[in-house]
Structure 1
Amino acid sequence: MLEQFQRGDMTFTWLNGGVTHMDGGAMFGVVPKPLWSKKYPCNEQNQVELRTDPILLQVEGRNILIDTGIGNRKFTDKQMRNFGIFEEAKLEESLQHLGLTCRDIDTVLMTHMHFDHASGLARYNEVGELVPTFENATVIVQETEWEELLHPNIRSRSTYFEMNWKPIRHQVETYEDVYEVVEGIRLIHTGGHSAGHAILKIDRKGEHIVHMADLMPTHAHQNALWVLAFDDYPMDSIAMKQEHLLPAIKQNAWFLFYHDYKYRALKLDENGSVIGSLERQRK
């Protein structure tokens, strides 16, 4: 069963992009475990469950995908253990439930190009070659993010896998500050988590919806100071959360999640309490 969320003329569907289990300390940075573990559970290895489920946005006859999951056959056995990957993507099966195929995706919006968001961009074909997963899609990437993955530094080369971006480079369109894919639906460059990180903001026909991507990867990260050890520019993450989070709450906006183990979408009040939600149906 795929969870769907209908707002105005927009339908959001979460596809199965696979799951990781990452170190809880890294996911919550300087926040002590006695604090974060009250809000987000961990296993005996101190790992927290992080879905990597792309969000399919259908509007005006368009099939728009937000990020792409961890793909299939992209990781060594060691990486599978280290990243706690117990389930790889089932994107094609998810799309089949909707009467769609990968060819029906016309736009892919990338919040950033880290491996847990971009590994689904390319797949292995029948003869073992890497080819675009969404062959008819334009892939939208912030220009700083694209330049950094082309020329990674000693830190970023461990997450910008060539196998994810080389097969699709001819499909890529970059932007500087804002990319509006459909009226009122915009990718906005924030930086913070990575230099080219972006969030998705929707202000359309009276609906207000925000996908904070990895500035607020889970519902437990709503505190502006709770940022990831993975963030390249943590002070920028804090500043962007302050700029976008509280105004969205005051607008009565819905927040969408790609990583959260529990929530697909939720609405918060100004005290941080959940006042509306769509929960993931766990098997």
Structure 2
Amino acid sequence: MTRFSAHHADRTVVDLAREAICDAIADAGTTSGLVDQLVLANESDHLSRQVTLVSAVQSEVGLCERPAMRVEAGGASGATAFRTAAALLRSGDAEAVIVCGTEKTGRDMRAGLVSEIFALSADSDLEFPMGVTFPALYAMALQVHTGLYGTTMEQVASVAVKNLRNAAANEKAHRSADISVAEVLASAPVASPYRVLDCSVLSDGAAAVLLVTEQWMRANGAEQWMRANDARSDSGTEPRPLVCLVGSGAATAPARLGDRMVDGPAGVANFSAKSAAAKI
């Protein structure tokens, strides 16, 4: 994982991906020669200023002449890339897949252009021409949620409080803070009822993880992993647990906010895609 910040002025989106991927492979105690495929998550060619990004990254990390793909699913791009890699392992098409998400958020571009690019993630035929912005869409959905379920803005603000405190455990996080619910509620308005501190920050950065099958682990990684854990124990550092993926699910709600109201306002606020994904 790279350090996340508002702007890596001297680094491209490829530079960030290279650092994250090489660090992940080294951290796993292996080499790129033992990696079968690359799955890359990236939301926007426009912000990255690099079309066919996966090929550019592949050439930088020693993964040429192997399958590679880019996955795009808006804010779920990283999670979708992870799930895609897991599916490749389950299918037997690969034994080791490196997953990387890398983003540049357009700090070197005009603010108005960046806002327009993000707005294009909404329906570009119907919603975007109406001047919709993502904060406004989320604000409308939250207004429905508060009306239906009695959700308070104090409860919403507690999410920001929790997230910023959790970030303190990651030295590479963009921003961490020990703030109060009152401070969130007192921050500047963005789109009612959201305030500035309710909103996520736009970050430049990249993160990567190596997913492997149990067979690959036994053949290539088990000994190195055990040696690394022994070394951590000897140094007084807590050993790293073996992480196993036991399942995953995914689903997609209608893209347009209005289409989610086919069965009434609850469709905007009931997280139907999350519920459907949990059943997969």
Instruction: Give the alignment's TM-score, normalised by structure 2.
Output: 0.29
Between Structure 1 and Structure 2, the one with more strand by share is: 1
Work out which of the two has the higher radius of gyration on C-alpha atoms and give 1 or 2: 2
Between Structure 1 and Structure 2, the one with more helix by share is: 2
